[in-house]
Amino acid sequence: MEAPANQATVSAALHGRSGATPTLGVADVHKAFRTGVWPRRRSNEVLRGVSFELFAGTMVGLVGENGAGKRGLMGIIGRWLKQDHGSVVLDGRLGYCPQVPMLYEKLTCDETFALFGRAYNLTTDDTRARADRLYEVLSFARFRSELVEHLSGGTRQKLNLAIALLNEPTVLLLDEPYAGFDWETYQVFWSLAGSLRDSGTTILIISHFLHEQERFDRILRLVNGTLESGGH
């Protein structure tokens, strides 16, 4: 695992100084979707020349109205959606927690960890050890043998978040990851996010809550597919 970025390096990076290397670089990204039926099909451009860099040890909020392009941008960074133009450079491992959990209903929590552990090329012992830590941090160990289909929405979201963290990502993408959490778990989430940032993880979070924005080191605000001035 990479050594945590020290405070001076992070500060320098945030202010554009020194030779700090970004963990995530997005350059002139464009994306359009075609809608309608021929001959009346038209192109709806959702991202228009988006560019920014993120550095180790920072937690950044991605905000904007519905339809501003936030999830399209997340999809392009995560590489399950292809941009029409521009580039995305990722330095390290990627973790992603979608807003709606993408889980297999007929697997238990333990089986879900095992499945994703194999996908991440982790050993059985590493998967089990990391899963045990995540069960403890997120307080859902009592559900480890429960089928996903029997879990509450909040517990599903805990598992969803835990899977994103299983590979100890360098860059973590979170799409409103606390949906369904009770107040106690919500507080645990922000404590965990702060610890990850302090250990050098780059975190990008889609957020709709104004009161959360003070938690971020930086805000990227999308308006009609472009970053507002100051978003770079």
The pLDDT score that the predictor gives to residue 212 is: 77
Q: Name residue, tokens 């990076």.
A: 13
The pLDDT score that the predictor gives to residue 4 is: 44
The pLDDT score that the predictor gives to residue 41 is: 65
The pLDDT score that the predictor gives to residue 9 is: 46
Range of the domain at 70: 1-93+203-232
* pTM exceeds 0.95, yes or no: no
Decide: helix, strand or coil at residue 89: strand
Residue 49 CA to residue 228 CA, distance in Å, equals 11
Residue 174 belongs to some domain of the structure = no
Residue 31 belongs to some domain of the structure = yes
Per the DSSP assignment, residues forming a β-bridge with 47 are: 31
**Strands (DSSP E) along 64-134, which ranges?**
85-90, 94-97
The pLDDT score that the predictor gives to residue 223 is: 92
The pLDDT score that the predictor gives to residue 39 is: 64
The pLDDT score that the predictor gives to residue 68 is: 83
- Per the structure, the count of domains in the chain is 1
The pLDDT score that the predictor gives to residue 214 is: 84
The pLDDT score that the predictor gives to residue 36 is: 60
CATH number for the domain that contains residue 38 = 3.40.50.300
The pLDDT score that the predictor gives to residue 165 is: 98
Instruction: Flag residues of the chain having pLDDT under 50.
Output: 1-18, 232
CB atoms within 10 A of CB 197: 23
Residue 154 CA to residue 138 CA, distance in Å, equals 11
